[in-house]
Chain A
Amino acid sequence: MSVIKLTLPLSKEAMKNLKVGDMVQLDGDMLVFRDAGHKRLYQSILDGNQAFDYAGETIYFMGPCPARNGEVLGSAGPTTSCRMDKYTPYMLDHGLSAQIGKGKRDEASIEAFKRNGCVYFAAIGGAGAIYSKCIQKAEVLYFEDLGTEAVRRITVKDFPVVVAIDSQGKSIY
């Protein structure tokens, strides 16, 4: 099986070349947050006081285990993406580059990936130990009180994903 190696952030051109089902290894920086982080960010936008900027970023839906045994971050596999569907069209329409999670997405999200020429990657659900090993750096940026659901920036190397929705709006599911 052939694997494509890419560095984040991805250009629109790079995303255009990706096809559904492509197996990819990612290097570089991504933001990490999930349900509670999205809810609070979205509320801050509705309140007219956006908590932080995500333009050009790739968001990984994940809430890690605590670090141990000299790890940068503990186990770190993806969580179910459809719970973030509510926020996805708005965020893609306002500059978000790509998302990483697991599982299928709703029609509105698929349309938003297509409309904006963006990509949704599926990480391998349950593979928490493998993903932990891919993380070279991690820091909490915002919402520290949310614990595992805080907003983090991580730097990854050889992070395995599959293109689950491509920029043409084709879905693997």
Chain B
Amino acid sequence: MYKIDTQIIAQKIKRAIDKISCEVEPSCRVALKKAYEIEQNETAKFALKVMNDNIDLAASEHRPVCQDTGMVVVFVEIGKEVILAGKLLQDAVDEAVEEAYVTLRKSVLDPVTRINTKTNTPAVVHTSYVEGSDVKVEIMLKGFGSENMSKVYLLNPAQGLEEAKRLIVETAKVAGSNPCPPVILGVGLGGTLEKACIMSKHALFRKIGSNNPIQHLDELERELLAKINELGIGAQGFGGKTSALGVFIESYPTHISSLPVAINVLCHCSRSCEFVIDGAKEGIYVSD
């Protein structure tokens, strides 16, 4: 077994937040440059120029790319040969968030009183247990202009996949200009209500242009991306060729009575990254 102090995870999370608040995820940057090159709608091209200039400026001058520095969402995969020591994982993550957000916008508040926590905490932390002796962390700063446009449906089997596809495209259409398009859609198909939602969030970590390893999901992603780009929403909703940069689907077996579909909308400023802590190198060996 390898003992890893959660302080190590926290330090890396703090550095990651500092970086990704100012640097858009690389595959997203590439996709936006391409969207600018192929755009022919003059207003959308103007918007894409400002968007690309902004991303370059934010990275070169280390300024937050967007003022909505979001709520922090973290997925942590813990190897079964790892013992997490020190503070509870949630507490360690929250300390990292509080420190990192001193110079970022603090957008998190109590849903009833609307009183701001003034630290951007708590973060939303998802954990799972896997083989091995590593801890893998995926972290995202999630803006809420796009989060607010997300949807979840519990369809019945008679409605089936065709209705799910229609609702995914409809979600992009209804969201329109609000989530700062071109958008990225994460889709969770199957499972239960919350499983579908969590999958839809996790799908947003996929790199733009990557293939889904499951062939029927890959085909579905391509079909949906093409349909959404035919909507003509375009950059900032000004019209044009690129309404979405990617549609990414995760699936899970579901109940005979249902087809859960969750659609999580992400703006064009994808701010996420991942890192791995190798227990054998950064942890302390302890005998079983």
Contact = CB atoms under 8 A, between A and B. Distances in A.
A125 B66 CA distance: 8
Contacts of B54: 77, 124, 126-130
B114 to A, nearest CB: 7
B63 A125 contact: no
Interface string A62-81: 11111011010011110110
Contact of B58 (A122, A128, A147, A173): A128
Interface string B42-58: 11011100110110011
Interface string B170-200: 0000001110100000000000000000000
Given A62-B67, A103-B237, A126-B267, A162 B103 contact: no
B107 interface: yes
A132 B118 CA distance: 22
A133 interface: yes
Contact of A66 (B103, B180, B238): B103
Contact of A23 (B46, B64, B67, B239): B46
Given A128-B58, A129-B57, A147 B267 contact: no
B69 interface: yes
A128 B51 contact: no
Contacts of B66: 75, 77, 125-128
Nearest to B180: A125
A129 B61 CA distance: 9
Residue from the set A21, A124, A129 with the largest chain B CB neighbour count within 10 Å: A129
B67 A63 contact: yes
Contacts of B45: 1
A132 B63 contact: yes
B63 A129 contact: yes
A170 interface: no
Contacts of A75: 58, 63-67, 69, 105
B104 interface: yes
Contacts of B107: 63, 148
Interface in B119-156: 145, 148
Given A74-B67, A127-B51, A36 B114 contact: yes
A169 interface: no
A37 interface: no
A128 B65 contact: yes
A65 B105 CA distance: 4
Interface in A7-42: 21, 23, 36
Interface in B53-84: 53-54, 57-58, 61-69
Contact of A1 (B42, B64, B177): B42
A75 B47 CA distance: 17
A132 B69 CA distance: 14
Residue from the set A69, A104, A131, A132 with the largest chain B CB neighbour count within 10 Å: A132
B57 A133 contact: yes
Residue from the set B42, B43, B114 with the largest chain A CB neighbour count within 10 Å: B43
Nearest to A22: B43
A82 interface: yes
A104 B176 contact: yes
Interface in A79-112: 79-80, 82, 102-104
A126 B65 contact: yes
Interface string B16-39: 000000000000000000000000
B106 A103 contact: no
A147 B176 CA distance: 29
Contacts of A129: 54, 57-58, 61, 63-65
Nearest to B149: A80
Given A102-B180, A129-B58, A65 B50 contact: no
Contacts of A124: 47, 50-51, 54, 236
18 contacts: A63-B105, A74-B105, A75-B64, A76-B67, A77-B54, A80-B148, A104-B237, A125-B236, A126-B267, A126-B268, A127-B50, A127-B53, A128-B54, A128-B63, A128-B66, A129-B58, A148-B105, A162-B238
Given A68-B103, A125-B66, 5 more contacts: A122-B237, A125-B180, A129-B64, A129-B65, A148-B107
